[in-house]
Amino acid sequence: MTWADAARGAAILLVLIGHSCPPPYTTAFIYAFHMPLFFILSGLFLQLDAPLKTLWWKKVRTLLVPFVIYNLVLLCSDWCIVALSPNQHTPVDIPARLLGTLTGWRSGSWSSSLWFLPALFTAQWLVIGCHKLGQRLGEHSSTITVALWVLLSVVGVAYCLWVGTALPMCLDAALVATGFLLMGRQWLHRGLSGYAGWYWVVTAIVFAVSAIDNFHSLGGGDHHVDMSTDTLGHPFQFYIAAAAGSMLLIRCCQLLQESDAPLGPQGRLIRQKLSPLNFPLSTLNAFLQWAGRNSLAIYCLHRIPMNLGIAFTNLVPWLNEPTAASQATRSLLLVLFTLLLLLPAVLIVNRWFPWTLGRKASS
């Protein structure tokens, strides 16, 4: 599904934008759904009936191995930054970071910016466990499985709201994520192309209202939904905004694919309507698909060039003024600078170090 690659590529671009400190409302909209979108897309491709041993080693190779390797890379990068400018940065607690790498714990100085990988690993095994348990409990296995998934999500949200202490292997975030894996598993397989245009207008309104209201319920400003810190705000608004925003972006990527598809009756009609935009749309589709196929590498590596970009932008006073225009300009420059450096980095990793991403070397 090339649209899934494009959706994953759009999501990883939103990660870059979110980490570049854009204006508050931009952050509120992005964080409302960009990480849930990754879990939803993972749910679409989740294999539940493969042999457990095969699943185990695949998940370890593609999620935990990159988590450990690139955590160590980021640790070395952070240490170098502090060594070069000790007066501007907090010293790196190397033992705590190493323990966080080994346990998937993201509390205080143990924290890792790659928390999504152990969270996805844990969430997928929770879902696989529910599926296996549902099969053992009787005839209505699918209903039992869905009920177990929903129960895990409720437990996760309750824990984040009332306790909020990080757990090993990001178990707290993983419990919340099981609901998004369920969404991907249940309704992405059915497709989103059969809905009328008014449906998407309503979905966009629901997303905007839920995201903004939840943003203000958290206090506004620098406060926003963040699964990595168990900051969910109002649970209902959190799930509604995450689901609606994800559906909108996925549908946009599907339409983008249809506009760039081999010519057929529907393809010709879409192209006729979008003829002035054919080249930009085709280029955008190709770029998003590339970013989606390399989203793991981009996710694991982007902090290094972005930190370098932050150091450069800190030297320009007007980029650090507390105005929306300055924040937006700084964010855009940081994203462009990060992508510029990521292009050769991703090529190098794919060519010589694919095993660090759980991939086999290409022949």
Domain coordinates in residue numbering, the chain: 2-357
Mean pLDDT of 242-264: 83
Q: Under 8 Å CB-to-CB from 303, ≥6 apart: which residues?
A: 19, 74, 77, 113
| Residue 115 structure tokens | 């928390």
CB 106 within 8 A of CB 166: yes
Per-residue pLDDT tens digits for 147-197: 999 999 999 999 999 999 999 999 999 999 999 999 998 776 666 767 778
Q: Per mean pLDDT, which range of 117-121, 129-133, 302-306 is the poorest?
A: 129-133
Give the whole-number percent of the chain exceeding pLDDT 70.
Answer: 91
**Nearest alpha carbon to residue 69 among 356, 363, 302, 362:** 356
Residue 192 pLDDT? 72
| Residue 149 structure tokens | 């998934």
Per-residue pLDDT tens digits for 194-224: 777 889 999 999 999 999 999 999 998 888 9
Mean pLDDT of 257-279: 57
Distance CA 219, CA 108 (A): 22
| Residue 89 structure tokens | 């940065």
**Nearest alpha carbon to residue 36 among 308, 247, 318, 289:** 247
- pLDDT of 139 over the 70 cut: no
pLDDT band at 263; cut points 50, 70, 90: very low
Rounded to whole angstroms, what are the CA distances from 133 to 129, 149, 262, 331, 349? 6, 11, 44, 46, 39
- pLDDT of 277 over the 60 cut: no
Per-residue pLDDT tens digits for 299-318: 999 999 999 999 899 989 99
| Residue 56 structure tokens | 């185990």
Taken in order 262, 265, 270, 272, the sign of the CA dihedral is positive
- pLDDT of 269 over the 60 cut: no
Q: Per mean pLDDT, which range of 114-118, 315-319, 353-357 is the poorest?
A: 315-319
Q: Report the chain's mean pLDDT, rounded to a whole number.
A: 89
Distance CA 147, CA 149 (A): 5
Distance CA 201, CA 209 (A): 12
- Output the pTM of the full model: 0.93
